[in-house]
Amino acid sequence: MPRFAAACAALRPDEIAIRDERRALDWARLDDALNRVANGLNALSFGPDRRIAVFSENAIETSLANLGGLIAGASVVPVNFHLTAAETAYILQDSEATVLYVDGATATRGVQAARMASVNIIIGWDADHREIINFADWMAASFSDPVVAFGVNGVEYFGHPWEFGARKAKEMLFTGGVMSAREARSLGMVNHVVPREELEEFTMSIAERISSRPTVGLRLAKQSVNQAQDAQGLWTALQSAMSLQQLGHSNNAELFGRTINPSGVGVIRSDAKGDAWDVG
């Protein structure tokens, strides 16, 4: 099914693929959502055996949880949404699931079951509980820079140490790991994490607020921040990193007859199927 969704997204992206009582997704949005779920699971680093349990009524999110789990290389454990907390806890313990999906109808029982089964990661939709990670926020976005696998130092704009610190930059680059949007926000790489359906309205509200300030003041403020970064060495670091990237490309050309190490393709594809490290 995941490969089928990707193929349909390429052939007929605007055709409706899945529908429930609340909304519908076309093939393009379905394929995008499935990959976001898979990347979100990778970012959670939920264990080598990758077992997830889905405890929810039928909904689009239920399908995303099941199919996205398969893309991430997980074994999916369906749980009947009529079961009690104790019965659900038994299934969680027996299956050794480390992630539990719930919805509004199963949230309370799901949290109780997770406590009994020592499952620490609960993701849910239509559920307001402090122990449940919001599904929409969690699958919002993820970040990675896997191109060290190609025998170069990273992507061309090498702002990594300024975006999230030297140690985290090294870990992300050395492992090709995935960073969730929530972790990126906590490190200051992004300012806000917003559900997709609210993105345009939220962006416009910020733009309108900015536009109410004098243009000259905005320009001076932007230039002041940019100059501060340059004084810290950002511009020099960018130029040095670009020189080192060209060195990497030259080395690859000598060794492989092309500007990248061809073995990196397999490494990055393997990571995309669910083997990437979490750097959160």
Which backbone phi and psi does 202 adopt, to 5 degrees?
-65, -45
126-171 pLDDT per residue, tens: 988 888 888 887 776 678 888 899 999 998 889 999 998 999 999 9
Q: Looking at residue 276, what is its pLDDT?
A: 47
Q: Looking at residue 131, what is its pLDDT?
A: 85
Half-sphere exposure of 174 (CA within 13 A, CB side): 7
Q: Looking at residue 245, what is its pLDDT?
A: 92
Read off the pTM: 0.58
Query: Do strands 133-134 and 121-124 pair parallel, antiparallel, or not at all (unpaired)?
Result: parallel
Nearest to residue 47, comparing CAs of 271, 266, 274? Answer: 274
20-73 pLDDT per residue, tens: 988 899 998 898 889 888 877 876 655 556 799 999 999 999 999 999 998 888
Contact by Cβ (8 Å): 140, 185: no
Domain topology for 142-275: 2-enoyl-CoA Hydratase; Chain A, domain 1 (3.90.226)
Q: Looking at residue 82, what is its pLDDT?
A: 97
Three-state SS for 143?
Answer: strand
Q: Looking at residue 235, what is its pLDDT?
A: 94
Q: Taking the CB of residue 31, how many other CB atoms lie within 10 A of it?
A: 21
Rounded mean pLDDT of the chain? Answer: 87
Tell which CATH classification among 3.40.630.10, 2.60.40.1180, 3.40.50.980, 3.40.50.2300 matches the domain 2-138.
3.40.50.980
